[in-house]
Amino acid sequence: MGDLGRSPAELDLTIGVPGLNSSSPIRSGGGGCNMRDLDINQPAYGGEEEYPMASIEEEEEEGGNPRPKKLRLSKEQSRLLEESFRQHHTLNPKQKEALAMKLKLRPRQVEVWFQNRRARTKLKQTEMECEYLKRCFGSLTEENRRLQREVEELRALRVAPPTVLSPHTRQPLPASSLTMCPRCERVTTAATATPRAVIGRPPSASPFTRSTAC
């Protein structure tokens, strides 16, 4: 057991991802796979919440019970470690020593716990960033598709421009003499709007660069 009830990785994740509330801890490990209810490292006894300290494993005694191969921290130990981790993610030697003493653990165990905790916090953050970037990719892909369709539609308009007759000669005007009003998006003859501008405009100039048509 160790961390009964507590999420296996109750990591207080703070990630700079828009839309994610960093104030609420992310709990991983869906499926409710929690360490709980039973700590085989602890002798069975009536107490529900308080456990004898999971301590430095003693040497196996002759004829005694085989000692547990893996320490499981008690709930209280986990709680204190988490609390300490919230205050600082790394410990100086004195803090480590003091915490180890308090928890009846070896300093090395405290050190390793913090290392694992840091690593797993980082892993969770990376996973969340990955998910966020995937969602961004999806929406950007969709946006890209939409814009490409729009480009295709505009290209189609350019290939087959509307035929506009000259008010003077009643002959179709060349497409190069047409312009589009950026406000109302109507094709008009630039000649009617600003005849001199049409004459002076270089052939490569975009018809959308002037807004004097209307």
Partner DNA sequence: GCCGTCAATAAGCAAT
Partner DNA sequence: ATTGCTTATTGACGGC
Q: CB of 174 within 8 A of CB of 189? A: no
Taking CB under 7 A as the criterion, the residue among 61, 69, 139, 209 binding DNA is 69
> Residue 109 Cβ, how far from DNA at the closest point, in Å?
4
Question: What are the φ/ψ torsions at residue 181 (nearest 5 degrees)?
Answer: -75, 120
Q: Which of 16, 18, 19, 32 binds DNA (CB under 7 A)?
A: 32
Total of residues contacting DNA (CB under 7 A) = 41
In this structure, is the dihedral angle defined by the CA atoms of residues 197, 202, 208 and 209, taken in order, positive or negative? negative
Query: In the complex, what is the shortest distance from the CB of residue 45 to DNA, in angstroms, rounded to a whole number?
Result: 14
Contacting range for DNA; rule: CB under 7 A; set: 106-114, 135-143, 179-187, 201-209: 106-114
Are the C-beta atoms of residues 125 and 26 closer than 8 Å to each other? Answer: no
Among 22, 115, 141, 163, indicate the residue that binds DNA (CB under 7 A): 115
Q: Which of 60, 102, 112, 186 binds DNA (CB under 7 A)?
A: 112
Fill in the per-residue mask, 40 to 59: x = in contact with DNA (CB under 7 A), - = not in contact: xx------------------
Sign of CA dihedral 184, 190, 192, 193: positive
| Cβ count within 10 A of residue 36 | 15
Contacts made by residues 21-30, CB under 8 angstroms, sequence distance 24+: 26/124, 26/128, 28/124
Q: Which is nearer to DNA, 106 or 187 (CB)?
A: 106
Binder to DNA among 14, 34, 188, 189 (CB under 7 A)? 34
C-beta separation of 172 from 164 below 8 A:
yes
Q: Which is nearer to DNA, 51 or 113 (by Cβ)?
A: 113
Closer residue to DNA, CB minimum distance, 65 or 139: 65
Q: From the list 26, 72, 84, 85, which residue makes contact with DNA (rule: CB under 7 A)?
A: 72
Q: Which is nearer to DNA, 2 or 207 (CB)?
A: 2
Residue 126 interacts with DNA (CB under 7 A): yes or no:
no
CA distance 43 to 1: 12
Residue in this structure with the two tokens 């992310």, named with its chain if needed: 26
Q: Report the candidate in 34, 31, 95, 104 with the shortest Cα–Cα distance to residue 73.
A: 104
Which residues contribute to the site for DNA (CB under 7 A)?
1-3, 6-9, 28-29, 31-41, 68-73, 78, 90-91, 108-109, 111-116, 118-120, 122
